[in-house]
Homo-oligomer: A and B are copies of this chain.
Amino acid sequence: MSQHELIHFEDMNPETVYPLGPKHVVADEVIAFASEYDPQPMHLDEEAGKASILGGLAASGWHSCAMLMRMMCDSYMLRAAAEGAPGLDYVKWIRPVLADDVLSGETRVVDRRVSKSRPGIGIVHLRHELRNQRGETVLVSENPVMLRLRMPQEG
């Protein structure tokens, strides 16, 4: 991919929407993630999940975040002139993500500004939303991402 084809700061404006997913939530992946990073019973075992308020084998909220990131990568991040992110403004785990759910959604650009401290860098504020196969919102998050400017402004 040439530098020219990369998504730069100027390409992301408040009208920009990137689709996310679909991603099939595979039971084995739910269990594998939880075994490594969040070994609470409702993330490891179908029966324990059914007995919990989550109602079934449920992905760790952190696993939902990780799946979101992979969907972001596949949609736009891997072809963006990205310079990382300083963090997350918030994450809302609105509904359980259960094994065999299919997640999809979108990233919207909500705001952007040129960095005052870092020449050639812009900060794009993104809002991510994921829904399940019934159209119910399961996760919402916002975070700032740093992107290089295609045309660095003169100082």
A positions within 8 Å CB-CB of B = 33, 36-40, 52-54, 60-63, 65-67, 69-70, 73, 77-78, 82-93
Q: Indicate if the CB atoms of B70 and A37 lie closer than 8 Å.
A: yes
Q: How far is the CB of A92 from chain B (nearest CB, A)?
A: 4
Q: Please, which residues of chain B bring their CB within 8 A of the CB of A52?
A: 84
Q: Indicate if the CB atoms of A37 and B61 lie closer than 8 Å.
A: no
Q: Indicate if the CB atoms of A36 and B93 lie closer than 8 Å.
A: no
Q: Which residue on B lies nearest to A93, using beta carbons?
A: B87
Q: Indicate if the CB atoms of B93 and A53 lie closer than 8 Å.
A: no
CB<8 Å pairs between A and B, sample of 27: A37-B66, A37-B67, A37-B69, A38-B69, A38-B70, A39-B73, A40-B73, A40-B77, A40-B78, A52-B84, A53-B83, A53-B84, A60-B69, A61-B84, A61-B87, A62-B62, A62-B66, A63-B66, A65-B65, A66-B66, A85-B93, A86-B92, A86-B93, A87-B92, A88-B90, A88-B91, A90-B90
